[in-house]
Amino acid sequence: MKIYTKTGDKGTTALIGGTRVPKHDLRIEAYGTVDELNSFLGLLRDKAEDEEIQKFILRIQNDLFNLGAFLALDPEKKTMANRQKRLNLPSVNEENIQVLEQEIDRMNDELPPMTHFILPGGNETVSTCHICRSIARRAERRTTALSEISEVDPLLIKYLNRLSDYLFVLARKLSKDLQIEEIKWEGK
């Protein structure tokens, strides 16, 4: 498989299904942001010392690859469900979301109650986690914008929303585990 195809040299790219669109198309922005998030999650996984966190992030990275592939489907080729089935593409489902929620609840049970807004920082790993969280929020914004003009499975948006929640709680857990004091927003 060649890395360069020369087909994108004029500022277009192909969706799964063949339709060519501009590289700045909102669909490309949505799955491109998911790809960016996945890359930063790889960095977070490399920085995390806890093997269970590393495994969980790897699971999320696989989910995001599936999510991105689903966003890359050509919306003009029959129905979303038929395209997914025909191409044998996995998507994100309710179980993936429940796994995130269970992990959020598990971590949250170990943390002190939140009494203030928290500023990102204090440690490179914690900061990387906050970068991932903010990219997840951007991926969610891009995907919701896409959903206003094209069919998008609502579970994809729900997953991205829950993922940003997971990353926020993970940042708090990492701060606690690394004995890093959370930086309170003082609002002055």
Say how many domains are in the chain. Answer: 1
1 belongs to a structural domain: no
Check: pTM over 0.85? Answer yes or no: yes
CB 15 within 8 A of CB 21: yes
pLDDT, residue 186, reads 87
pLDDT, residue 53, reads 98
pLDDT, residue 2, reads 67
Q: Which domain holds residue 98?
A: 12-181
63 belongs to a structural domain: yes
133 belongs to a structural domain: yes
The token pair at 18 is 């063949």
SS3 call for 118: strand
Q: What is the CATH number of the domain that holds 50?
A: 1.20.1200.10
- pLDDT tens track, the chain, 188 positions: 667 777 667 888 888 888 889 899 999 999 999 999 999 999 999 999 999 999 999 999 999 999 999 899 888 765 555 555 556 677 789 999 999 999 999 999 999 998 889 999 999 999 999 999 999 999 999 999 999 999 899 999 999 999 999 999 999 999 999 999 998 898 77
5 belongs to a structural domain: no
SS3 call for 12: strand
Which DSSP helix (H) or strand (E) runs through 183? Answer: strand 183-184
CB 167 within 8 A of CB 160: no
173 belongs to a structural domain: yes
